Amino acid sequence: MDLIKNLQWRYAVKKYSDESVNEDKIDQIIEAINLSASSCGIQPYRLFVITNPEIRQRLGEGSFNAQIHASSHLLVFAGFNKITNDYITDYVEMMEQQRDMENGALNLLKDTLIDYFSTQTPEQNAIWSSKQAYIGLGTALIAAAELKVDSTPMEGFDPKLFDEVLGLSEKGLHASVILSLGYRDSDNDYLASVPKARLPINEFSTKII
């Protein structure tokens, strides 16, 4: 299975080369993220793809993760601060149109979602949205590995700085997790030649029959 081989190949890159990832591969990774699963299927986060060197230098201020500015592309997964009734209504209407359904055919789903999220606090909404963003992150890691693009998932960043520089708060968003993309500098990355370390499958997983 090529997927397993590609996942064995990938690791969290520490040092990137100067080689850029072509936009075709970036677009494929973005499309894979867009196809990710999300709870209730409503995609409560947005993706920002950043190559601008000045912006990335600013985003990396104070972080120990040089990959923020030293890789080819930086992906920022930004969760919603609140799940609004308007967003649910618009999304459900889009679902009806894409599935060639009558207007109002999914009213039960819409009303159920509105009833549920109206009982949640904005803080609960934000936490839930960030968890959904992590599902997208997982998809991005796998998609990148399939395309032989290196990556580094990161939490070591200043979310308030990201929110400020990218204007996320004004968009009703907050930075949840980030991912750098590029190509490993094998000569200067100490992890490039180190075997992957993982628990034995029979210790990691349990089958209950």
CA distance 65 to 33: 23
pLDDT in tens, 65-123: 999 999 999 999 999 999 999 999 999 999 999 999 999 999 999 999 999 999 999 99
- Quote the CA–CA distance of 33 and 140 in Å, as a whole number: 6
Least confident of 15-19, 167-171, 191-195: 191-195
- Enter the tokens of residue 150: 């290196």
Domains, the chain, ranges and CATH? 2-83+120-204 (3.40.109.10)
Question: Residue 111: CB partners within 8 Å, gap ≥ 6?
Answer: none
Please give the average per-residue pLDDT across 190-208, as a whole number.
95
User: Could you tell me which residue, 62 or 43, shows the higher pLDDT?
Assistant: 43
Burial group, residue 182, by CB count within 10 angstroms (0-12, 13-18, 19+): buried
pLDDT, mean of residues 29-33: 98
At 141-183, the pLDDT tens digits run: 999 999 999 999 999 899 999 999 999 999 999 999 999 999 9
Residue 1 near residue 112, CB atoms below 8 Å? no
pLDDT recorded at residue 1: 65
What are the residues whose beta carbons fall under 8 Å from the beta carbon of 144, sequence distance 6 or more? 10, 29, 150, 151, 181
Predicted local confidence at residue 62, as pLDDT: 84
List of long-range contacts for 21-24, beta carbons under 8 Å, 24+ apart: 21/72, 21/73, 21/149, 21/181, 21/182, 21/183
